[in-house]
Structure 1
Amino acid sequence: MEKENQIFGIRAIIEAIQAKKEIDKVFIQKENQGELMQELMKTLKKNNVNFSYVPVEKLNRLTSKNHQGAVATISPVSFYDLETLITSIIESEKKPLFLVLDQLSDARNFGAIIRTAECTGVNGIIIQKQGSAPVNGDTVKTSAGAVFNVPICKVEHIKDAIYFMQASGIQTVAATEKTDNTIYDINFTEPTAIIMGSEDRGVNPSVLKIVDHKAKLPMYGTIESLNVSVACGAFLYETVRQRLI
């Protein structure tokens, strides 16, 4: 973690949240139940800030300062409002292409996906506030700086974002093995949002129920799945191929 992108200490984190800083994630020491910590937890939940409980050893690795059981990471980028972004893209007469990352948790995978997204003309990436990979130094490095070029939206619920995109005339396509359709059966020349799932369980079943299309990559080896960033690249470049024709 880059030191300039972190805040340590309970009171400092509370003040940063109240000052509307772009807090990406807060790491909380397990079994720390002091009065000030309870105030921090209330503030996190009230403002829907992403947090996780970790052992004190993790916090000590993040900083050598007196962290009081809490370290926060500040996002190096500002996040976009989903409705404003989609409306502006549609009004610009572009054929929208969005990525929805359903609780992708690895910062390096996130960075690799952002890099490919920038190269393939993705108009925006949508992530959920809770449970998503942090936008930190690893993300910036792995994206080769592309994180500064692709708008990223943080939303309360992925499903609400999908409903809004569908209502805006954008077809939603989930990457999943739970279908007979391959990516070559999908018309990606339409305004499209591609939904990629988490590394361990894929797209959430509740999300799969509401998407317009489901598609998979043909697999011929003995390993049953690709790394999510590689799979995402295959989906995006099939979209590029179709739109070039």
Structure 2
Amino acid sequence: MTTENTIIFGLRAIIEAIQSGTIINKIYLQKGLRSSLYVELEKLISENRLTTSIVPVEKLNRLSKNNNHQGAVAQISPVTFYDLEQLIEDTLQKNKIPLFLILDQISDVRNFGAIIRTAECAGVNGIIIQKNGSAPVNAETVKTSAGAAFKMPICKVEHIKDALYLLQASEIKTVAATEKTDDSVYDINLNQPIAIIMGSEDRGVNPSILKLVDYKAKLPLLGEIESLNVSVACGAILYETIRQRGIFSL
């Protein structure tokens, strides 16, 4: 997968992509656009709450590798996103102990890709991200995931809270990875239907989310550094889950 395969450009092309339901990660726009097509695009962007960035024309030239972009370039997701409610239902019907992963606005694509790769190896049933503020599923994400992004169901939700309520209504316990607790991850029962929440690189799990979860858990830190990289921490917790569930023939 290359970056070129996930790029479209031109006002009309992007408008038609949005109207057809194409999953768009981000739209780059040139400052000062005022045409009628731009106004139409701007309305669609607002209605669909799409992420945009105003950039110099030089960046648009680099992204599109074409000067005929009309001041608009869009990055399209190379994967199809799943409906969370349907994914939960399908997972429960398989008579397995569900294991979901919620990423609370993790923004680095390399961390995101590494987490997807580890999650796929650890048998996670699906990853849940928020539409705004999360790293895009782009070519770099796919590359870092070693292709696991094509195998791992990924769901986008308007708000992480929506996902928590839906999971808890399905009797799936929620576990937030946070240093703001005295409970070790090794003392939490992970051998039950659970969703693990990992927080953003700079802020961790949002305090409003921490108020809603069933459990909070931390990893022991024996050195002087105050935190682990989020993808490393995620891997440690997922494999503790595997250990507790008695799955040793990996």
Per the normalisation by structure 2, the TM-score is 0.92
Aligned residue runs from structure 1 range 39-118, under 5 A: 39-65=40-66, 66-118=68-120
Q: Once the 2 structures are TM-superposed, how far is the Cα of residue 55 of structure 1 from its aligned partner? A: 4.0
Q: Once the 2 structures are TM-superposed, how far is the Cα of residue 42 of structure 1 from its aligned partner? A: 1.5
- Percent of aligned pairs sharing the same letter: 68
Aligned residue runs from structure 1 range 1-245, under 5 A: 2-29=3-30, 31-35=31-35, 36-65=37-66, 66-244=68-246
- Counterpart Cα distance in 2 of 1:72 and 1:104: 21
- Counterpart Cα distance in 2 of 1:187 and 1:150: 24
The 3-state SS of whatever aligns with 1:244 is coil
CA root-mean-square deviation: 1.5
1:66-119 C-alpha deviation (Å, 9 max, x unpaired)? 223321111111110000000110111110000001111111111100000000
Q: Once the 2 structures are TM-superposed, how far is the Cα of residue 27 of structure 1 from its aligned partner? A: 2.3
Q: Is contact 1:21-1:74 (8 Å) kept?
A: yes
- Counterpart Cα distance in 2 of 1:122 and 1:24: 23
**Paired residue type of 1:148:** F
Q: Once the 2 structures are TM-superposed, how far is the Cα of residue 3 of structure 1 from its aligned partner? A: 0.7
The 3-state SS of whatever aligns with 2:245 is helix
- Counterpart Cα distance in 1 of 2:5 and 2:178: 38
After the TM superposition, which of the residue ranges 50-59 and 6-15 deviates more from structure 2?
Answer: 50-59
Q: Once the 2 structures are TM-superposed, how far is the Cα of residue 33 of structure 1 from its aligned partner? A: 4.4
**Paired residue type of 2:32:** N
- Counterpart Cα distance in 2 of 1:183 and 1:88: 28
- Counterpart Cα distance in 2 of 1:53 and 1:210: 36
- Judged with a 3 Å threshold, the aligned counterparts in structure 2 of structure 1 residues 20 and 179 are, in CA distance, closer, same or farther, namely same
Runs of 4+ with deviation above 6 angstroms: none
Q: Is contact 1:32-1:69 (8 Å) kept?
A: no
Q: Is contact 2:8-2:64 (8 Å) kept?
A: no
- Counterpart Cα distance in 2 of 1:106 and 1:88: 30
1:3-25 C-alpha deviation (Å, 9 max, x unpaired)? 12111122211111001112222
- Counterpart Cα distance in 2 of 1:84 and 1:156: 16
The 3-state SS of whatever aligns with 2:233 is helix
Per the normalisation by structure 1, the TM-score is 0.94
Q: Once the 2 structures are TM-superposed, how far is the Cα of residue 220 of structure 1 from its aligned partner? A: 1.3
Q: Is contact 2:81-2:155 (8 Å) kept?
A: yes
- Counterpart Cα distance in 1 of 2:216 and 2:71: 43
